[in-house]
Amino acid sequence: MARLSEQEISQVRARASIVDVISHYIPLSKRGRNYRAICPFHDDHDPSMNISEDKQIFKCFVCGAGGNVFSFVQKYEKISFIEAVYKVAEYSGVTLSAPLERVSAPAVDPHIAALHKVLDEMIQYTRYELDTEAGAQCRAYLGRRGLDEEIIQRFQIGYNPHDDALYRYLHAKGFSDNDMVECGVAGLSGSRMTDRFANRMLVPIHDTYGNPVGFTARRLDDSLDEAKYINTAETTLYHKGSLLFNYHRVKEHARGEQRVFLVEGAMDVLAFEKAGMHNALATLGTACTEEQLHLLKALRCVICVCYDGDTAGQNATYKFAKQAAAAGLPIEIVNNTTGLDPDEIIDTYGKNELQALCARTISHVDFLFDYLQKRYNLENFTQKKEYAMEIAAEIRRVPDEFERRNYYLRLKELSGFDMEIPVDHQESEKPERPQFEKRQYLTYPMSGQKQAEYEILSQMLAGAAAADVFKEELGFFKDDNSNKLAMYIIDHYRDHETLSVSELYDQIAEEPVRDLLLNVAQWELARGEIDPQVLREALTKVRSCILEDKIQALNDRVKNVSDPLQKAQLAMEKNQLIVQRNELIHKEGS
């Protein structure tokens, strides 16, 4: 596996703009010096994520998600740190020493690797069987479907014969019954093991890294009373809701495409291949999950939905359109009113018709206008009102003001209801919080120890001089995480003249300390520069609180002591601490 040096990672971090990178994934709006966004890591409706261009960090003040540019991409795309570095490098125009293709997927344990090996061997076996005499029926079927040798090779299409030859082959290769059952390849029928996909054409399904995890299989004998298509059942490797068929191929080329097509099943993807369109992927018949939405967002393309043209397909399009729009996914709809699936369109009208249909996409709002008119009786006032309310809710998601107004006018013509919300009443126009560029010197109340610690830490982030003052005049915090963060800052200044919050974030191992760093860096009272007077006030406050804690501890001890001499000794210690505390307060007040 190729490795990147710390110098290269630092180069990417220095060149990257967290605002530019995050804007590839979600819309941002500028608020004062910072940016705000709907947080993609929880069910957010009001912008709760703050992005600081100055500090190169982000923080959600609702769910707590935060970090730097690498951690955002890593969390959003659910990839490894090293993959996130490559993604950010690509956005930032940095060429790294080793190509991404040489960096392996995250390491898996030996058992998972063994299960992948079972499926690899199965693919090789079924591809071999396709070219034997036993595979003649399957080859004939593929020919009738118009799938040429190039498509067969690219998608590793194979054939599994009638008998238990596959089971015997895998057993001879040294794989156990348990491994085959765990992969979903075989199952126990009575007292014997049987192939799950006997006498079927097989198309392998892969994870996002290209590892085989299962199969979709089509029966060859339509006279049999069994399902036409079956997929691998849920297994250790195969989780239908977190996979998209053909994703591992499409993602490598998606950056060069303005859009990709989302279809229902593997055979629909193959139909697109026949039509010369290599940018289709499928949900494998399942309703789209949150995991699949994240995968689609990561492609950074417009997703064109091309589900079947029958009633079930149109209903599925409606559900996905609302789900995707709510998640902020850019989508268009292939307005398939033919009643046919993609393969049937090719068979009936030819490849050119599918290509032409896919070129005539409409917005998801346009689709909903037409689709919902068939569900609601617009002659009925109540249903017309419900229709208008549902459409208006989707119109409000449209970012372009001109398009929104056009849709509202169209809705008014259809329903008679004016659903447009005046701009000054929209949530997006809420007044911004005032920006506190200049602040008066702070005087801390006795309960403000935490605020004082934040002040000290924020000034330590602003410059090494504050870190030196902390070392000389205080040296430690009572709070363990504050203490650890202070030590990380001091260590950083040993090798650097200045401090980057984003770089320091990657140097910290403990998650609670990382969170504290983000909270201090985003603290609304942070001034971004060293202020000696305020720093001295904060140090005095922390020392005073430490003395107060010691005084309270002595009070507690006195209550449990009966010996008069010991009580007197504790009282003397307490008085000394009170004198120290009063001197601190007097010195600060003078």
- Say whether both 382 and 504 belong to one domain: no
pLDDT tier, 255 (very low <50, low <70, confident <90, very high otherwise): low
Residue 404 domain-assigned (yes or no): yes
Mean pLDDT calculated for residue range 377-396: 90
- DSSP annotation string for 432-491: PPPP--S-PPP---TT-HHHHHHHHHHHHHH-HHHHHHHHHHT---SSHHHHHHHHHHHH
Q: What is the CATH classification number for the domain harbouring 517?
A: 1.10.860.10
**What six digits make up the tokens of 394?**
């989707």
Q: Note the pLDDT of residue 213.
A: 95
pTM greater than 0.85 (yes/no): no
pLDDT over 80 at 438, yes or no: no
Last residue within a domain, chosen from 219, 238, 257: 238
How many CA atoms lie less than 13 Å away from 512 in the CB half-sphere?
6
- Say whether both 407 and 508 belong to one domain: no
- Say whether both 362 and 382 belong to one domain: no
pLDDT tens, residue by residue, 79-118: 888 889 998 998 888 888 876 654 445 555 788 889 999 9
Q: What are phi and psi of 249, to 5 degrees?
A: -85, -45
- Say whether both 138 and 224 belong to one domain: yes
What secondary structure, in 3-state letters, does 289-356 show?
A: CHHHHHHHHHCCCEEEECCCCCHHHHHHHHHHHHHHHHCCCCEEEECCCCCCCHHHHHHHHCHHHHHH
Last residue within a domain, chosen from 333, 350, 371: 371
Q: Note the pLDDT of residue 425.
A: 43
Residue 270 domain-assigned (yes or no): yes
Q: Note the pLDDT of residue 103.
A: 47
Chain centroid to Cα 566, Å, comes to 62
> Is residue 232 helix, strand or coil?
coil
The residue among 334, 335, 328, 333 whose CA lies nearest residue 394 is 328
- Report the share of the chain in percent with pLDDT over 70: 90
- Say whether both 210 and 263 belong to one domain: no
pLDDT over 50 at 437, yes or no: no
- Say whether both 72 and 149 belong to one domain: no
pLDDT over 60 at 350, yes or no: yes
Q: What is the CA radius of gyration of the chain?
A: 32
The C-alpha atoms of residue 322 and residue 288 are separated, in whole angstroms, by 11
- Say whether both 59 and 144 belong to one domain: no
Q: How many domains does the chain have?
A: 5
pLDDT tier, 562 (very low <50, low <70, confident <90, very high otherwise): confident
The C-alpha atoms of residue 488 and residue 272 are separated, in whole angstroms, by 54
The C-alpha atoms of residue 73 and residue 23 are separated, in whole angstroms, by 11
Q: What is the CATH classification number for the domain harbouring 118?
A: 3.90.980.10
The C-alpha atoms of residue 152 and residue 201 are separated, in whole angstroms, by 11
- Say whether both 173 and 69 belong to one domain: no
pLDDT tier, 144 (very low <50, low <70, confident <90, very high otherwise): very high
Mean pLDDT calculated for residue range 310-333: 89
Angle 556-559-561 (CA atoms, 0-180°, nearest 5)? Answer: 110
Last residue within a domain, chosen from 76, 102, 128: 102
- DSSP annotation string for 346-397: HHHH-HHHHHHHHHSEEEHHHHHHHHHHTTS-TTSHHHHHHHHHHHHHHHTT
- Say whether both 88 and 212 belong to one domain: no
Mean pLDDT calculated for residue range 178-201: 88
Angle 157-158-161 (CA atoms, 0-180°, nearest 5)? Answer: 155
pLDDT over 50 at 435, yes or no: no
Residue 495 domain-assigned (yes or no): yes
377: left (phi over 0), alpha (psi -120 to 50) or beta: beta
- Say whether both 467 and 584 belong to one domain: yes
pLDDT tens, residue by residue, 512-544: 999 999 988 887 666 678 888 888 888 888 888
- The dihedral built from the CA positions of residue 486, 492, 498 and 501, taken in this order, carries a sign that is negative
Residue predicted with more confidence, 119 or 550: 119
Q: Note the pLDDT of residue 565.
A: 82
Q: What is the CATH classification number for the domain harbouring 350?
A: 3.40.1360.10
What's the start-to-end Cα distance of the chain, in Å? Answer: 64
* Residues comprising the chain, all counted: 590
pLDDT over 50 at 31, yes or no: yes
The C-alpha atoms of residue 198 and residue 165 are separated, in whole angstroms, by 9
Residue 435 domain-assigned (yes or no): no
Question: Are 184 and 115 contacting, i.e. CB atoms less than 8 angstroms apart?
Answer: no
Residues ≥6 apart with Cβ < 8 Å to 394:
322, 325, 364, 365, 368
The residue among 281, 276, 337 whose CA lies nearest residue 146 is 276
- Say whether both 418 and 505 belong to one domain: no
Residue 309 domain-assigned (yes or no): yes
b/e sequence 92-104, b meaning 16+ C-beta within 10 Å? bebebeeeeeebe
The residue among 277, 267, 130, 278 whose CA lies nearest residue 205 is 267
Mean pLDDT calculated for residue range 334-363: 93
pLDDT tier, 509 (very low <50, low <70, confident <90, very high otherwise): confident
Residue 443 domain-assigned (yes or no): no
Residue 579 domain-assigned (yes or no): yes
pLDDT tens, residue by residue, 62-77: 888 999 999 999 998 8
Residue 521 domain-assigned (yes or no): yes
- Say whether both 319 and 413 belong to one domain: no
pLDDT tens, residue by residue, 446-489: 347 788 889 999 999 999 999 999 988 888 888 889 989 999 99
Provide the residue range defining the domain that includes 425: 376-429
